């Protein structure tokens, strides 16, 4: 890392840390004690109001809350920013109600002249396909806000049948071109995932949100998964199917490499049998169901139904 770039990052570091030791700076930036001392002197010359604290728990402390230093981006970081914008370009709707054109215009205004050609190259040479490009009955931005504010909602969900659900949204997920919300279902006392395009209405509930940190969510979800998915499966995957697996794999499955190909192992619930059948069908002859027999039977019945359809 070049010295100027390191100093800019160190300015951000000391601004966030407020108080730090010489060892903290050395560890954070993998530099020697001599370099760290020179950098501290350089930071003071740049206007960082530091003073040394003596004693066993001494170090350096930032006086007050000075303004952040100007942002400095490397060529690679500028490229990454415009690369990220390309994904936004392919979405007509996003959780922030921001258009690609407006954000790009603002970035272009502060873009160094030497980076102009790189930004134009990213626009011209990198494209995303398969991203969501539809309108939703309920704005993504409104759903995102309920997660930030920890709100509880009544939603009308119209996918397989029209129903009202009492939920607490926890996170948003973008999978294979579709938006989903991961929620705590208050009526069922369980985690549920809903596809956003089928939420036709939502109203705020007076019910208090359930307080759960990430560790608690993970613990509860693991317990639920073990309870809801008691059946084990093993699928044999041919080497040619590996690319598709990388695009289509889920948290309930994992890949094991073998000499003659791969095994996909995991768990599922009886209610997910049809999903597993459809999943296997997507791989064609690249996948073989080794177990359980119930999944083999359901798969064969589906194939027979398709044959009769065209017979």
* Residues β-bridged to residue 172: 181
Which CATH class name applies to 229-310? alpha beta
DSSP string, the chain: --HHHHHHHHHHHHHHHSEE-HHHHHHHHT--HHHHHHHHHHHHHTT--EEEE-STT-EEEE-S-PPPPPP---HHHHHHHHHHHHHHHT-S--TT---HHHHHHHHHHH--GGGHHHHHHHHHH----S------SS-HHHHHHHHHTT--EEEEEESSSEEEEEEEEEEEEEETTEEEEEEEETTTTEEEEEEGGGEEEEEE-SSPPP---HHHHHHHHHHHHHHH--EEEEEEE-GGGHHHHHHS--TTEEEEEETTEEEEEEEE-GGGHHHHHHHHHTTGGGEEEEE-HHHHHHHHHHHHHHHHHH-
pLDDT, tens digit, 9 for 90 and up, residues 92-150: 678 877 777 788 888 887 888 888 888 888 888 887 776 656 678 998 889 999 999 99
Those residues whose C-beta lies under 8 Å from the C-beta of residue 122, and which sit 6 or more positions away, are: 79, 82, 83, 86
Token pair in block for residue 172: 């948003």
pLDDT of residue 125: 83
Calculate the CA 171 to chain-centre distance. Answer: 9
Q: Do 140-225 and 229-310 agree at the fold level?
A: no
- Domain ranges for the chain: 3-62, 75-125, 140-225, 229-310
Residues sharing a CB contact under 8 Å with residue 81, sequence separation 6 or more, in sequence order: 73, 107
Q: pLDDT at position 260, please?
A: 82
**Cα–Cα distance between 128 and 290 in angstroms, integer?**
36
Q: Which CATH number among 1.10.10.10, 3.40.1010.10, 3.40.630.40, 1.10.3210.10 corresponds to the domain 3-62?
A: 1.10.10.10
Give residue 200's Cα distance to chain centre. Answer: 25
Cα dihedral sign, 109-112-115-117: positive
Domain 140-225 listed as CATH 2.60.40: no
Q: Is 168 within 8 Å of 210 (Cβ atoms)? A: yes
Q: What is the pTM of this model?
A: 0.70
Q: What is the pLDDT along the chain (311 residues), one digit of tens a residue?
A: 678 778 878 887 887 787 888 899 999 999 999 999 998 888 888 777 887 877 666 788 887 665 555 666 778 888 888 888 887 777 767 887 777 778 888 888 788 888 888 888 888 888 777 665 667 899 888 999 999 999 999 999 999 899 999 999 999 998 877 899 999 999 999 999 999 999 999 999 999 999 998 999 999 999 999 999 999 999 999 999 999 999 888 889 999 998 888 999 999 999 999 999 999 999 999 999 999 999 999 999 999 999 998 87
Token pair for 267: 């768990």
Residue 69 pLDDT:
59
């Amino acid at each position: 890392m070049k010295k100027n770039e390191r100093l800019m990052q160190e300015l951000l570091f000391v601004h966030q840390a407020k108080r730090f030791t010489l060892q903290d700076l050395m560890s954070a930036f993998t530099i020697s004690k001599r370099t760290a001392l020179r950098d501290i002197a350089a930071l003071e010359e740049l206007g960082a109001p530091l003073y040394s604290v003596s004693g066993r728990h001494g170090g350096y402390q930032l006086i007050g809350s000075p303004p952040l230093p100007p942002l400095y981006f490397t060529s690679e970081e500028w490229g990454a920013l415009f690369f990220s914008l390309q994904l936004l370009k392919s979405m007509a709707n996003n959780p922030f109600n921001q258009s690609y054109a407006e954000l790009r215009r603002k970035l272009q205004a502060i873009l160094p002249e030497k980076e102009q050609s790189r930004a134009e190259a990213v626009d011209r040479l990198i494209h995303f396909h398969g991203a969501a490009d539809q309108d939703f009955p309920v704005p993504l931005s409104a759903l995102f806000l309920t997660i930030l504010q920890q709100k509880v909602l009544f939603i009308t969900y119209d996918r397989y049948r029209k129903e009202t659900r009492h939920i607490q949204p926890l996170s948003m997920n973008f999978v294979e071109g579709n938006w989903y919300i991961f929620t705590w279902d208050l009526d069922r006392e369980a985690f549920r995932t809903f596809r956003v395009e089928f939420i036709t209405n939502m109203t705020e509930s007076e019910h208090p949100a359930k307080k759960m940190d990430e560790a608690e969510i993970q613990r509860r979800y693991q317990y639920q998964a073990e309870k809801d998915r008691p059946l084990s499966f093993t699928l044999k995957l041919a080497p040619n199917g590996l690319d598709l697996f990388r695009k289509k794999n889920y948290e309930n499955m994992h890949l094991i490499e073998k000499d003659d190909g791969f095994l996909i192992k995991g768990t599922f619930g009886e209610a997910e049998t049809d999903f597993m059948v459809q999943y296997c069908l997507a791989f064609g002859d690249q996948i073989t169901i080794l177990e359980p027999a119930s999944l083999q039977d359901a798969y064969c019945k589906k194939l027979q139904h398709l044959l009769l359809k065209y017979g």
